[in-house]
């Protein structure tokens, strides 16, 4: 079992808890994900944060940016400036399955993203 949390975010992984082995959470909300959903989220967040990092040198200090990414069942967005950003995620699964919508404000979004990337070898 892996459990990490900080102000405004939470992430847990328990391989024995099937089918929803990963828990993500923010201020006042939490949702359980399957391993496949968690891995798809991890990869999509890494790509989106990478896109933001590639653009920060092109932004002026007071300039804001919003980037969106849609991949599979996930829609994600980061919105902020060079230094900090919010992260929003929406899971839109196939018919008959649950849907999830959540967000993390800065700086919780950065901390959650780092913790999620550390799970790369887990889920």
Residue 79 and residue 67: Cα distance in Å, rounded? 6
pTM over 0.95: no
pLDDT for 121 = 60
pLDDT digits (tens, 9 = 90+) for 2-28: 899 999 999 999 989 999 999 999 999
Alpha helices in the chain, H assignment, sequence order: 35-55, 108-118
pLDDT digits (tens, 9 = 90+) for 37-49: 999 999 999 999 9
122 pLDDT band (50/70/90 cuts)? low
Domains and CATH numbers, the chain: 35-121 (2.30.31.10)
Residue 109 and residue 95: Cα distance in Å, rounded? 29
Token couple for 93: 């699964």
pLDDT digits (tens, 9 = 90+) for 53-111: 999 888 888 888 999 999 999 999 999 998 899 999 999 987 888 899 999 999 999 99
Token couple for 50: 């990478």
Alpha carbon 33 to its chain's center: 12
Token couple for 87: 């992260």
């Amino acid at each position: 079992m892996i459990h990490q949390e900080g102000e405004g975010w939470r992430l847990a992984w328990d391989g024995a808890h099937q089918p929803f082995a990963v828990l993500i959470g923010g201020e006042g909300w939490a949702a359980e994900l399957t391993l496949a959903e968690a891995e798809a989220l991890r990869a999509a967040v890494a790509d989106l944060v990478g896109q933001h990092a590639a653009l920060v040198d092109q932004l002026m200090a007071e300039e804001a940016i919003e980037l969106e990414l849609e991949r599979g069942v996930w829609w994600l967005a980061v919105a902020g400036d060079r230094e900090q950003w919010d992260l929003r995620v929406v899971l839109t699964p196939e018919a008959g399955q649950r849907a999830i919508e959540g967000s993390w404000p800065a700086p919780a979004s950065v901390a959650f993203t780092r913790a999620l990337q550390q799970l790369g070898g887990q889920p």
